[in-house]
Each structure stands twice: as structure tokens, then as C-alpha cells.
């Protein structure tokens, strides 16, 4: 079931995104204890993208708030997701993390991989936020329990062209492995924690587009959009960003590309009117913008295909013959072409 769901999500993501590029895949160790530490701009799509772009079967540390009922708990457990409790989940729940940490120690000792989003929450802005020390507790706790175990950290930078809009492009950059033991000293634990956090944070800032200035964030972002920087290439984008900051920032007009694929979009809209209206209604109730793309993807891989299948059965019932197959083929090809070729918006 795990493998089937992974393949289904993989196919869905490659159809949902206009482009998925992976950089630094050679940095991922084929075996051994490893922790992937990533930025977190786009809710549940971030772990899905990490899961489909590397060959390690990973266990995902996920905020406990999403484990809301028995069905969701069973599904998340099957998908190797582990709840982690934060202060906002209630002080009384923090003690549950001790058992979670012990589970993580043992998973690493059995040469498995963990994925953690060390910023502690998601945020759509193109910047690396301060990292929490939870990941250091897991890593150093594992070293204490299994002192001979080598553990690597693989920093992961996820970069979206614009995670709110559709279609969208994304790149996943896997950084150079970091040896945990080189940054750990039991006698100077606080210094070890601060040192490892700084190393990982600096690595993530190289693997993502990082706008440090929060006060002028939107103005800087507007300038980058006007320059049409390639957000999928953080190294190049950060160089442009540094040059930009040496100049006086001012508002720039962003040009919107002509969408020559609008007629195809209108055809797709008419063909998908009911699920599209349901999506529009549901999207109004999404309170966090970071969840917008996640819910859109959920509609994309469930309601829309089911609706097309229902319509194809109706065509079969009315007209008979092979026309329902032609209709399904049209739905796939038209949607695929639009996603892959439509111009992107800033």
C-alpha cells in the first residue's frame, strides 16, 4: 500500500508541477543513518517532494496537530510519518516527545532516514527562518545512545517559482553531507547545539533563495520578480540579490506574459466546471496561504480524475463505442499540455 500510494503521488506531482528539477542527488548516501533537514515553504507538498525525489525510504517528523482522527493517523502512520509535539500543542503534550525521540534514535541506529523541517512551521516567504533545536536533540541523543554510529545530515533546499499560483515549477537541492559527530561535544552541549544549527542554517541559505531583510522583504521580492530571476537556481538568484541590495531599491513594474494557452484553459474549465466550482468554494475556507497549493493538489489528484471518469462512463452509456476512451485521452493530454506549457505568473 505504501509503494502504491508513493507511485500515485509521484505521478500526480509530476503532472501537477510544470517542472520538477533535482540537484545534488549524488550527495544522498545510499545507506547509513541520515537526517534530511529542509526548509518548509509549502505545507504538505514539501515532504511529498522530498519523498519522491530520493531513493531512501524516509520517516517524516510531522507536527502533531495534523494527526486529528483515527483514519488520518492510520494513513500517516502507513506513510511513515511520526508526530512531533510543539509548545503550541500544549505543555502537557511535550512529554510525549521523549518516546518519539527514542523511536528516532532506534530508527537511525537501524540505518534508516529521517526528514525534519527544522524551522518548526511553514512560511511562504523566500527566506530561511531560525532553526529550532529539536533536530539537535535527536541527533545528539542518538550519538549518546549509539556512540559508534556515523550519522549524516543532508540539508535540503526547496525552491518554488511561486507556490501559490498554478501551474508552478519547483527545484529540490540536496546539499553536501554534514558529519554530526564533528559538531558534538558532550562537555560543551550548548556550543555544540549552536554550532550545528549555524552550519545547517548557512547551508540551507545557499540551497534556497534567501531574503534576509524582513523589513523590506516585499520590495526586494518585487524587484526580483521584475528582473525575472530564476528562483529554481538559488545560487544565481542569491548573486543577483546581493548586487540588488547594493543599489537603491524602488518599486518596479512587473510585466504579465501573454497567455496564448487561454483558449485551452477555457475548454478545460468548461470540461471541469463542477470540480472547479467545488475547488473555488473550498479554497475560500483555507486560512493559511501555505496550505492553498496542498489542497489544490488534493483536488487535482482526486476529484478531477473521478469527475472525468464519471463523464466518460456517461459518454459510454449514451454513445457506446470507443468515444469514452477518446474523451479520457483528451482530458489527460489537454490538461498535461496546459500545465507544462502555460506561462508562469510571479
- 346 belongs to a structural domain: no
Does 51 lie in the same domain as 18?
yes
Does 248 lie in the same domain as 100?
no
Does 275 lie in the same domain as 188?
no
Does 131 lie in the same domain as 219?
no
State pLDDT tens for residues 207-251.
Answer: 999 999 999 999 999 999 988 899 999 999 999 999 887 777 777
pTM recorded for the entire structure: 0.92
Does 127 lie in the same domain as 201?
yes
* Domain encompassing residue 316: 262-341
* Cβ proximity of 42 and 294 under 8 Å: yes
Number of domains forming the structure of the chain = 3
Does 26 lie in the same domain as 126?
yes
Confidence (pLDDT) at 117 = 95
Series of mean pLDDT values for 10-residue runs along the chain (346 residues): 86 96 96 96 94 91 74 78 75 79 94 94 94 94 95 98 94 97 92 96 97 92 91 96 80 73 90 96 93 95 96 93 93 95 84
* Cβ proximity of 115 and 38 under 8 Å: yes
Does 222 lie in the same domain as 78?
no
Among the listed residues 163, 188, 337, 168, the one whose alpha carbon sits nearest the alpha carbon of residue 267: 337
Q: Domain boundary residue among 188, 207, 226?
A: 207
Does 22 lie in the same domain as 123?
yes
Does 199 lie in the same domain as 286?
no
Confidence (pLDDT) at 89 = 66
- 13 belongs to a structural domain: yes
Among the listed residues 331, 283, 281, the one whose alpha carbon sits nearest the alpha carbon of residue 306: 331
Confidence (pLDDT) at 4 = 86
Does 11 lie in the same domain as 128?
yes
Does 117 lie in the same domain as 9?
yes
State pLDDT tens for residues 316-326.
Answer: 999 887 999 99
Amino acid at each position: 500500500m505504501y509503494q502504491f500510494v508513493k507511485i500515485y503521488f509521484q505521478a500526480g506531482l509530476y503532472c501537477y508541477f510544470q517542472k520538477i528539477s533535482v540537484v545534488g542527488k549524488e550527495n544522498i548516501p545510499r545507506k547509513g543513518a541520515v537526517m534530511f533537514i529542509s526548509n518548509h515553504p509549502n505545507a504538505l507538498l514539501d515532504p511529498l517532494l522530498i519523498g519522491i525525489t530520493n531513493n531512501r525510504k524516509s520517516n517524516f517528523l510531522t507536527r502533531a496537530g495534523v494527526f486529528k482522527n483515527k483514519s488520518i493517523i492510520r494513513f500517516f502512520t502507513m506513510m511513515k510519518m511520526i508526530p512531533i509535539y510543539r509548545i503550541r500543542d500544549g505543555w502537557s503534550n511535550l512529554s510525549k516527545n521523549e518516546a518519539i525521540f527514542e523511536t528516532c534514535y532506534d530508527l537511525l541506529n537501524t540505518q534508516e532516514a529521517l526528514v525534519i523541517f527544522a524551522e518548526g512551521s511553514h512560511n511562504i516567504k523566500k527566506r530561511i527562518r531560525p532553526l529550532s533545536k529539536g533536530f539537535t536533540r535527536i541527533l545528539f541523543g542518538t550519538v549518546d545512545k549509539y556512540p559508534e554510529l556515523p550519522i549524516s545530515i543532508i540539508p535540503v533546499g526547496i525552491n518554488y517559482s511561486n507556490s501559490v499560483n498554478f501551474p508552478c515549477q519547483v527545484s529540490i537541492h540536496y546539499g553536501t553531507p554534514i558529519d554530526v559527530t564533528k559538531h558534538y561535544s558532550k562537555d560543551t552541549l550548548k556550543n555544540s547545539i549552536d554550532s550545528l544549527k549555524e552550519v545547517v542554517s548557512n547551508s540551507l541559505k545557499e540551497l534556497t533563495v534567501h531574503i534576509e531583510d524582513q523589513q523590506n522583504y516585499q520590495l526586494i521580492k518585487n524587484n526580483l520578480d521584475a528582473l525575472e530571476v530564476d528562483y529554481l537556481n538559488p545560487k544565481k538568484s542569491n548573486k543577483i540579490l546581493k548586487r540588488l541590495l547594493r543599489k537603491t531599491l524602488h518599486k518596479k513594474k512587473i510585466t504579465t506574459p501573454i497567455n496564448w494557452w487561454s483558449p485551452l484553459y477555457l475548454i478545460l474549465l468548461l470540461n471541469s466546471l463542477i470540480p472547479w466550482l467545488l475547488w473555488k468554494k473550498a479554497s475560500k475556507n483555507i486560512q493559511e496561504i501555505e496550505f492553498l497549493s496542498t489542497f489544490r493538489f488534493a483536488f487535482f489528484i482526486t476529484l478531477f480524475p473521478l469527475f472525468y471518469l464519471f463523464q466518460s462512463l456517461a459518454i459510454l452509456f449514451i454513445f457506446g463505442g470507443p468515444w469514452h476512451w477518446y474523451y479520457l485521452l483528451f482530458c489527460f493530454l489537454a490538461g498535461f499540455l496546459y500545465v507544462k506549457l502555460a506561462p508562469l505568473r510571479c
